[in-house]
Amino acid sequence: MTRLTHNVLIVALAVMLAGSALPAQSPALSGQTPALSVPYTQFTLPNGLNVILHRDTSVPVVAVNLWYHVGSANERVGRTGFAHLFEHVMFEGSMHVPEGSFDTWLEAAGANNNGSTNTDRTNYYIDLPANALELALFLESDRMGFLLDDKAPGKVDGQRDVVKNEKRQSVDNQPYGQAFVELSSLLYPPGHPYSWPVIGSMEDLTAASFEDVARFFRTYYVPNNASLVIAGDIDLANTRKLVEKWFDDVARGKPVEPLATPTAVLDGVKRKTITDRVQLPRLYLAWHTPGLLKPGDATMDMVANLLSSGKNSRLYRRLVYDLQIAQDVAAFQQSQALGSNFIIMATARPGQDLGKIQAVIDEELDQLRAEAPGGREMTRALNQTEASFYRNMERVGGFGGKADQLNAYFKAAGTPDFFDQDLARYRTVTAAEVQAAVGRYLPKDRRVELSVIPGDKK
């Protein structure tokens, strides 16, 4: 339907760049299909704003996609959830845009828009009919350059209430909602930027002040810490002129230093059991794995595919299909800039216990450690991944559309048209590498084991 939310997408980047997972050689789709390519024009304004243009005239729509290279990892202890709260304030108007007009003007032009925050970045999109491009540039440049006016403190209070209800809806009132909060604090030492959830805590959301907003804005929401993609039915030369017109008067900020955070490690098994008002127990296993686009990242995506994608995947087949002791199982590589996590989760069927489920998972991991996967299994996963790359190129706008992907690649790889190189990461993973990666990154004696069992809500 339409945007009714400005949401937190915690695993957006992982999903966007990985889709599922994949492996190597044999009668793959490759060879029959042309190289993936998204032609683009790139330039940088004097204030440091990176601009990427891509023309696609298949529908008369333009996607304006803006990334600020700041996420919850940039927050400080005592102000968790702030990057996301700030994202909400960005929709409440700016110096030349009265409160409420951001959305009103866009809807009157037939546009949809939204934003999301994860650990590493905050993204905003406006999808609109091609004739309305300049309206989006006016609105984006105004909130980049002139967000704070005398009405801003009241806007922070209003969105604080909304965000608290987002937390109630998406975490507190969700079965097993506390599990990922627990996983973050079990995986990372106190003070590590990934040790708190993107949504933050109620206390910290209450404590956030207008002064925090002003400082955050001046530090991170500067053109030299942002990248703007405009994709769709555009004229390249004219669009460049319009971008210069609207963004040239936005002031450059101080350089944003990259986060220097030591790699988190686990030196043993961290076990915890929590209770929730649920009918069925659920098990979570979690490890530290290579960061986004680092060597091993694509391999772990492939491991995830082999474990839980489709009925023939190893964990699904054992736990859900054959033994029927689990209602569901999922394995995924949550790729993040400062280091990723590999997570396996499974929900017990009525009357089944988590110990048995964990034992089966360990049997399957042992099996992969002992023997490289077969050729057909690898090819099946690669073919699924290749097809998902094509499907991801069908849509220009929104979360995960081409414009968003160009920005994701620009931030993570330094080049927007990284589609074919990204796919090549998967094409070159070998069965032996999969086997070795399970041995190296998913050790039985260094991981988090979290159980959620029926009881009172914690």
Partner 1 sequence: MMKALTLLVTLVASVSLVAQQPDRKQPPPLGPAPALKLPAIQKHQLSNGLAVWIVEHHEVPLAQINLIVRSGSAADPIGKYGVGSLTAAMLDEGAGARSSLEFADAVEFLGANLSTSSSFDASSIRMSVPVSKLAEALPLMSDVALRPSFPATELDRLRKERLTSLLQARDNAGALVQLAFPRIVFGPTHRYGTSANGLPATIEALTVDDLKTFYRSHFRPDNATLLVVGDLTLSTALPMLEQAFGGWKADGMVSLVAAVPNAPQLTTRQIYLVDKPEAAQSQIRIGWVGVSRATPDYAVLEVLNTILGGSFTSRLNQNLREKNGYAYGASSGFDRRLSAGPFVAAAGVQTDKTADALREFFNELNGILTPVPADELAKARSYVALGFPGEFETTGDMARKLEELVVYNLPDTTFSNFVPSVTAVTAADLQRAAARFIQPERMAVVVVGDLKLIEGPIRALNLGPITHVPVDNLFR
Site for partner 1 in 2-41 (CB under 8 A): 2-5, 29, 32-34
Return phi, psi of residue 276, to 5°. Answer: -150, 160
69, 164, 192, 447: residue in contact with partner 1 (rule CB under 8 A)? 164
Which member of 44, 169, 263, 428 binds partner 1 (CB under 8 A)?
169
* Residues of this chain, 178-217, that bind partner 1 according to CB under 8 A: none
Closest contact distance (angstroms) between CB of 173 and partner 1 is 4
Q: Which of residues 96-115 bind partner 1 (CB under 8 A)?
A: 96, 100, 103-105, 107-112
Quick one: which segment of 129-137, 185-193, 366-374, 437-445 binds partner 1 (CB under 8 A)? 129-137
The CB-of-261 to partner 1 minimum distance in angstroms stands at 24
Given 15, 95, 264, 453, the residue binding partner 1 (CB under 8 A): 95
Q: How many CB atoms lie within 10 A of CB 128?
A: 23
Applying CB under 8 A, the site for partner 1 has a residue count of: 96
Compute the distance between CA of residue 437 and CA of residue 205 in angstroms, rounded to an integer: 39
Cross-sheet strand order for the sheet of 340-348: 269-276, 447-454, 282-289, 340-348, 326-334
| Contact criterion met (CB below 8 Å) for 419 and 405 | yes
Residue number, 228 or 442, with CB nearest to partner 1: 228
Q: How far is CA 210 from CA 4, 64, 132, 206, 214, in A?
A: 25, 28, 33, 11, 6
Tell me whether residue 248 or residue 449 sits nearer to partner 1 (CB atom).
Answer: 248
Q: Nearest approach, Cβ of 106 to partner 1 (angstroms)?
A: 9
By C-alpha distance, which of 210, 190, 72 is closest to 149?
Answer: 210
**Contacts with partner 1 in 402-431 (CB under 8 A)?**
none
Tokens (6 digits) for 415:
């080049």
* CB nearer to partner 1: pick between 337 and 429: 429
- Least distance from partner 1 to the Cβ atom of residue 28, Å: 9
| Beta-carbon count within 10 A of 271 CB | 11
Q: Is 350 in the site for partner 1 (CB under 8 A)?
A: yes
| CA geometry: angle 430, 434, 440, nearest 5 deg | 135
The H-assigned helical ranges of 234-374 are: 236-247, 297-308, 314-315, 354-370
CA angle 6, 62, 228 (to 5 degrees): 65
In this chain, which of 266, 278, 413, 424 binds partner 1, going by CB under 8 A?
A: 278
